[in-house]
């Protein structure tokens, strides 16, 4: 059976490609999804984006036991949300945190991530390729939960 991976994106990432392209690049979220499907034909991708914290939590709960892993860009909730940290912990899935930009090289308020300690790993600052690297990491993960 094909492995299934959820690509989960948080607030404002629906505007990828339009939003501050000097920081986030010119690829849309659909371009990112398309590249993933081309690069990993052996994987079934589920995709979900929401600007709402609760919807992201609900989608993580829904993924519990249903996917082999999650690639998660929580957007600005990275820096504010204990609820997302709790959700990632609760679902007991391999979750790789991804950021297009390198938050540590930006404003001070982006330097802290609530989500990182709940994740298996984190890829940041490499642009859209980070999503592909995260999928690669999930497919090769031997880490126990």
Let me know: does 25 contact 100? Beta carbons within 8 Å: yes
User: What's the CA gap between 108 and 127, in Å, rounded?
Assistant: 20
Q: Which stretch binds ligand DQA (CB under 6 A): 25-33, 43-51, 56-64, 98-106?
A: 98-106
Contact between 25 and ligand DQA per CB under 6 A: no
Helices then strands, each counted (H, E), the chain? 5, 5
Binding mask 58-77 for ligand DQA (x = CB under 6 A): ---------------x-xx-
- Least Cβ distance, residue 42 to ligand DQA (angstroms): 26
Q: How far is CA 78 from CA 1, 74, 92, 121, in A?
A: 33, 5, 18, 14
Binding mask 106-135 for ligand DQA (x = CB under 6 A): ----x-------------------------
């Amino acid at each position: 059976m094909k492995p299934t991976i959820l690509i989960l994106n948080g607030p404002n990432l629906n505007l990828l490609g339009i939003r501050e392209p000097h920081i986030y690049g010119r690829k849309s979220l659909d371009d990112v999804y398309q590249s993933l499907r081309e690069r990993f034909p052996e994987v079934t991708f589920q995709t979900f984006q929401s600007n709402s914290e609760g919807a992201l939590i609900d989608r993580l709960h829904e993924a519990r036991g249903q996917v082999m892993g999650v690639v998660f860009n929580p957007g600005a909730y990275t820096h504010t949300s204990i609820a997302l940290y709790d959700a990632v912990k609760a679902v007991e899935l391999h979750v790789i945190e991804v950021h297009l930009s390198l938050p540590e090289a930006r404003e001070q308020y982006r330097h802290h991530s609530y989500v990182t300690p709940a994740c298996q790993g984190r890829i940041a600052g490499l642009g859209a390729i980070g999503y592909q690297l995260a999928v690669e990491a999930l497919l090769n993960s031997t880490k126990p939960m």
